[in-house]
Amino acid sequence: MIREQLSELRKKPKVLVENKISFAASDTELSIYDTFEQADKIPLLSDQLLFCGMIAGKKIMHDNSADYQSQFLPHESFIIAPNNQVKIDFPEATNSEPTTCLAIEISTDRIKKVVEQLEKSEPLDKDYGYWGYRPNSIHTHHTSSTQHLLNRIVQVYIENHQDRNYMIDLAITELTIRLLREQTRSFILEHCTKDPETNGLNASVNYIVENLDAQLDVEQLCKLSCMSRTKFFTQFKTHFGCTPAAFQLQLRLKKAAELIKLGKSITAACFESGFSNTSHFSRCFKRFYAECPRSYQSKYCSVQF
């Protein structure tokens, strides 16, 4: 019933470009934007962080502050920093097939509270600074877990549930943690590859990066990090949010995705990123990216095999 009501509202747009339907909570807001005709350089600006997720169609995002331009497709996120204006093109929007995206506005106060909780429960090594949102745009492909979370967030926003505010609070906190972990992990990974000798964790992470096609050697990683097995796993999970094996798998899948974008066949991308079985690769890829390699290839690569 709720979905039907939302669908009826979207069928009666007040404007044809970025028609907006919003659902407010205490310190967040969910908006669903539909665009029914082609348009160029439509500005988007908020004084809070905006987490955008594409639902249907295609946008071209222009971020002048970062000298950045890229297409924005379903199963992708685009995080816009507070007070950072981006401009958007809608090259394919039509009345019968509108371009649709959701945007979740998250207050800076909420982000600060989550950062404080992370710093208290899982402090980072001094070499990596501290938890915190680095104010820049982020464009990334969803994992299936993030996609499921976004679906759940939409559901709790539009439901008139007696515990609605509490469920929204939990879901937005989870989304914020995912954002902070992704950004902090990227920062740490860059630090590890630039300065592998800074500390033991850097050395072990750089070893994983440099030997993606090799079987994970936990004993070697512990030796490089100068830590016991228990301490190494604890430190690794604190900084990367997963085990070394899961981290290696994610790096392999990201490498495979990049190879597919560059025009490599799916089989070549599979073996060059360290997988030894194409069926296993396809299952892992779909679980991580929420779509199979063939579907990903059709979106991102003009060369078909």
pLDDT band of 194, cuts 50, 70, 90: confident
Q: What is the pLDDT of residue 9?
A: 66
Q: What's the pTM value of the predicted model, to 2 decimals?
A: 0.78
**Based on the number of CB atoms within 10 Å of its own CB, is 163 exposed (0-12), middle (13-18) or buried (19 or more)?**
exposed
Q: What is the pLDDT of residue 2?
A: 46
Residue 303 pLDDT > 70:
no
CB 60 within 8 A of CB 71: yes
Q: What is the pLDDT of residue 43?
A: 93
pLDDT band of 126, cuts 50, 70, 90: confident
Q: Which two tokens stand for residue 79?
A: 């995080």
**Based on the number of CB atoms within 10 Å of its own CB, is 172 exposed (0-12), middle (13-18) or buried (19 or more)?**
buried
| Rg (the chain; Cα; Å) | 21
pLDDT tens per residue, range 62-73: 987 767 888 898
Residue type, 219: E
pLDDT band of 304, cuts 50, 70, 90: very low
d(CA 253, CA 187): 19
Residue 305 pLDDT > 50:
no
- The gap between the terminal CA atoms of the chain, to the nearest Å, is 43
Residue 204 pLDDT > 60:
yes
Q: Mean pLDDT throughout 10-14?
A: 79
Half-sphere exposure of 280 (CA within 13 A, CB side): 8
Segment 257-266 long-range contacts (CB within 8 Å, at least 24 positions apart)? 257/141, 257/285, 257/289, 257/296, 257/300, 260/293, 260/296, 260/297, 260/300, 260/301, 261/300, 261/301, 262/301, 263/301, 263/302, 263/303, 265/305, 266/293, 266/294, 266/297, 266/305
Residue 1 pLDDT > 50:
no
Q: How far is CA 99 from the centre of its chain?
A: 20
Measured torsion, CA atoms of residues 45, 48, 54, 59, in degrees rounded to the nearest 10: 20
